[in-house]
Structure 1
Amino acid sequence: MEKGFKGEDIACEYIIENGYQVLERNFRLKTGEIDIIAMKENLLVIIEVKTRTNINYGYPYEAVNKRKQDKIIKTALYYVKLHGLKNIQLRFDIIEIYLGKENKINHYENAFM
């Protein structure tokens, strides 16, 4: 299984255990892709998952630069419009997954916008 998909599976399990409902995975448009779209109460949570086995190339959240954030935001706004969602709050999170003997998860709520 590819590292990224394994990380997304782990992230989904984690957010479900923490009271989120997963609406979509790997939502793609020309503007970009969203790894996980979830709901928690009346909050639409857009989640970027970054998976690593080490930090040789920096921390995973550092890979979510301004350009990547802009793509995710544009894609999320299209998703909201496409589904006719009104009066809903949006939050952009990053979940880091470190694969190892024991997987480690860091969840950054309100990571950008």
Structure 2
Amino acid sequence: MWPWKKKERWKVLPGDSLGTLGEKLGCQYLEKKGYKIVEVNYKNPKGRRLGEIDIIATIGKKIVFVEVKTREKSGLAFGLPEENINRKKLHKLQKIAAYYLRQNKWLDREYAFDALSIVYDGVARSAKIRHLESIFF
């Protein structure tokens, strides 16, 4: 499974990029809400590259594909993090999720697409996380 202890799994490190930081904070958030993290940064292992799914999690029997968007608090003048989720990104997310479901023989399982919008305040070393559930069907 994971090569590290559960407590250290999503530990934020000083050299983390903003995207990595957001994904780790997102995993921490989801686990606190009762989700089980199945995959992080899942990429289509063969064929043409479709992109990646930031987090794949389960809650109960439902599979949730999560797109994480993170922005520094000082960058909010350029818009909210979730405003970077466009139609093209959603289409890619849907295609790679379908591939993932086929590969794992989970086509009969309920699934959803969620987004986490994270605003990180580097000065206060804190984050505000907004969970947008079922962003499309």
Q: Is the structural similarity TM-score above 0.5?
A: yes
Q: CA deviation at 1:79?
A: 0.2
Q: CA deviation at 1:57?
A: 1.8
Which of these residues, 26, 37, 43, is aligned with residue 22 of structure 1? Answer: 37
Runs of 4+ in 1 over 3 A off after TM superposition: none
Q: CA deviation at 1:58?
A: 1.3
Match of 2:18 in 1: 3
TM-score in terms of structure 1 length: 0.96
2:62 is aligned with 1:47:
no
Q: Which runs of 5+ in 1 are unaligned?
A: none
Q: CA deviation at 1:60?
A: 1.0
Tell me how large the CA RMSD over aligned residues is.
0.9
Q: CA deviation at 1:55?
A: 1.4
Max radius of gyration: which structure?
A: 2
TM-score in terms of structure 2 length: 0.79
Letter aligned with residue 93 of structure 1 = D
CA distance in 2, matches of 1:79, 1:38: 12
Instruction: Look up the SS of the partner of 1:12 in the other structure.
Output: helix
Instruction: Look up the SS of the partner of 1:109 in the other structure.
Output: strand
CA distance in 2, matches of 1:96, 1:86: 28
Match of 1:56 in 2: 77
Q: Which runs of 5+ in 2 are unaligned?
A: 1-15
> What percentage of residue pairs aligned between the two structures are identical?
35
